[in-house]
Amino acid sequence: MPSKPLPPITIDAVYAAPGYLFRRMQQIAVSIFIEECKAFDLTPVQYAALIAIHTHPGIDATRLSAVIAFDRSTLGSVIERLQAKDFVERKPAPEDKRIKLLYLTKLGAAILREIIPAVERAQARMLEPLKPTERKALMGLMAQLVDLNNEASRVPLRAEDALEHLGKGG
Amino acid sequence: MPSKPLPPITIDAVYAAPGYLFRRMQQIAVSIFIEECKAFDLTPVQYAALIAIHTHPGIDATRLSAVIAFDRSTLGSVIERLQAKDFVERKPAPEDKRIKLLYLTKLGAAILREIIPAVERAQARMLEPLKPTERKALMGLMAQLVDLNNEASRVPLRAEDALEHLGKGG
DNA sequence: AAAAGATTGTCAGTATGCTGTCAATCTAGA
DNA sequence: TCTAGATTGACAGCATACTGACAATCTTTT
């Protein structure tokens, strides 16, 4: 009985692999986002942070990192940059000296309103090459896969759990 | 005639957005890859580089960056790390003093053979939560989307063009 | 052959993204 | 209460990713 042949070691196998396609698509998505939003000088991550702070004013950095599935260590520098641009401010929490609460500044809220159309354009452009039916199918499968794989990457808290203490979460 | 209402500014809109799902899935994919391949201490990008050099021995860094859709600037340090691990060696090109040709070392080729099963496991795990039909559908749509969006992110050369001078490309 | 232009690898600079560690602080248990 | 454990934000260190610049070198044009 012959042993099962090894798959050929070839770059073409990489091109069809899920990991390659996810990496490449992420690359493309960021590139399109930056292009559409270049007038605002905001990265995708900074945008996500602004939205999350807008949705949950007074959130702290640890919970924010859970809400946008973003590494806690890196988030510090992201917030610093948003602070430097005067989009975000941090206030000490009265009942816990370790925590700094995050709020949008007036400028941050204004930028958020203005950037939304550009972000919508970027999101649309990412899927533009597909037919409408295919777009829906892809987004459905991606949402499902991300949700079911949520535990696979180290995110300290599930978003819902992270928000329990903030009163209502959504 | 009332104007079309703005979409609500809310983190939930982000969760359903293509850009967020692509970023999150890439995060998950890398995490799974690292976990399955931790015995080999190879990152996804380093793995892709090894495969590409194996497929195209004597490739130079610029063409390699096109083949794996990888930024040319970053590639230098990736190769350095592969060289430090003695997986790759660089030889000067006799006919062009600017170019350094890339080859796998014996060790690099051996590692590549050994790591393949772990990589296969990783790739399988990424899609595991989906049903077989859904996996095929998702990979089909992703391959299509990445292909049609190829120009959207700055890759200096298309892979096929990059390989013309190397004789046969695949 | 000389000038103009393109290519190659490298570097500086910025921004994620991750692991691991740490001091300050808060909380729960003995 | 006192202390063991957990949490928070900060940091160090590594590895992508990208822009833009540069000297060395090669190619094309004149």
pLDDT tens-digit map of A10-44:
899 999 999 999 999 999 999 999 999 999 999 99
Distance B79 CA to D23 C1' (A): 21
Question: A50-82 pLDDT, tens per residue?
Answer: 999 999 999 999 999 999 999 999 999 999 999
Q: Is B6 in Cβ contact with A29 (below 8 Å)? A: no
Inside any domain, residue A132: yes
Distance A96 CA to D3 C1' (A): 20
Inside any domain, residue B113: yes
Inside any domain, residue B7: no
CB-closest option in A11, A16, A26 to B23: A26
Is residue A169 over pLDDT 60?
A: no
CA distances from A66 to A147, A154, B21, B27, B54 (A): 14, 10, 15, 14, 40
Would you state the pLDDT for residue B78?
97
Inside any domain, residue A2: no
| Strand extents, DSSP E, chain A | 59-60, 88-93, 96-104
Interface test with chain B among A31, A145, A168, by most B beta carbons within 10 Å: A145
* Residues paired with A101 in a beta bridge: A60, A91
* Number of domains into which chain A is organized: 1
Inside any domain, residue A3: no
Is residue B145 over pLDDT 90?
A: yes
Confidence bin at A162 (pLDDT 50/70/90) = low
Would you state the pLDDT for residue B95?
92
Inside any domain, residue B39: yes
Q: Is A129 in Cβ contact with B148 (below 8 Å)? A: yes
Which CATH number characterizes residue A84's domain?
Answer: 1.10.10.10
In chain B, the N- to C-terminal Cα span, in Å, equals 59
| Strand extents, DSSP E, A73-123 | 88-93, 96-104
Tokens of residue A46, six digits: 């900074």
Q: Write out the residue range of the structural domain in which residue B72 sits.
A: 12-166
Inside any domain, residue B126: yes
The amino acid at residue B133 is T
Helices and strands: H and E segment counts in chain B: 8, 3
Inside any domain, residue B4: no
